[in-house]
Structure 1
Amino acid sequence: MARVTDVEQVRRVPAAGRAVFWTQFALLIAYLIGSFGILILAAVHVGDPGAVLHPGLDRLGDPKDSMLIGPDSVWNPLVWIVGVCRLIAWFVYPLGFAMLLFGGATMVHTWRLGDRRTFTQVAVLTAIWLILIILAASPYGSSLTTWLLD
């Protein structure tokens, strides 16, 4: 029988698992804004929705021309946010492989600790990063990256 003074053991979620999850999530959102967000803006800007499936300079023009986020100045925070997101999209390979390594190591760690919720969250995001790396290695992904680098 439990006494009133006994305190239940509260199982704490490891901080490393949460940190990796939120890092993967934040970088995923930034990548999506910096790649597909800019791609969709460019397709809307030129009035060619089919260009989303075939990104390139011939159909979409310069990616910088489609970023209509207000005055292009150093003091506009949206310019900085979109610029950082675009930079993240440029480095999809090293960033994606880092997310796979951190995700894999965190999955092993959280599985051993018995933290199934964090394990599942990190596993889903790691799988999404794997899909993004495969997509980036495809002809579509290489043409998207080439267009973004212009």
Structure 2
Amino acid sequence: MPFIQTEMIRLNQSFNTSAEAIDAAGEVLEAAGCVSPAYVKAMHERQALSSVYIGNQVAIPHGTEEAKSAVQKTGISILQVPAGVDFGGQTAKLVIGIAGVDDEHLELLSQIAVICSDEDNVERLVQAKTKEEILSLFMEEVA
């Protein structure tokens, strides 16, 4: 998955609220030049419309359709949250922020869903000690 780089992975994060986690995921995307600040706002709008929690301790914050113009390049931020963060009554230990140019976000969502549908993969990601471990798991599962 060429859109993941080690500098966009954060280990051992801790958040009090899902809003803090969404901010952090968006800030990583913004710092990497993937999105403008308007996209981070749209990530919160998406969460307000329907939870970005997808199950298996994973949340995938992303912007609304209207925020497409705020995406400069496709990217993924991965936040490991070992203690978990509440997303509307569900605990996420992995927060994966995505931004996609055109329809690339759909491909990203499906690839992430395949990886994260396996509880063992999620556990390996949550327990990973290095960014490279996380990166290699995504690479081997997509290959």
Name which structure has the greater RCO, CA cutoff 8 Å, separation 6+: 1
Normalised to the residue count of structure 1, the TM-score between the two structures is 0.24
| Higher gyration radius (CA) | 1
Give the structure with the larger helix fraction: 1
Normalised to the residue count of structure 2, the TM-score between the two structures is 0.25
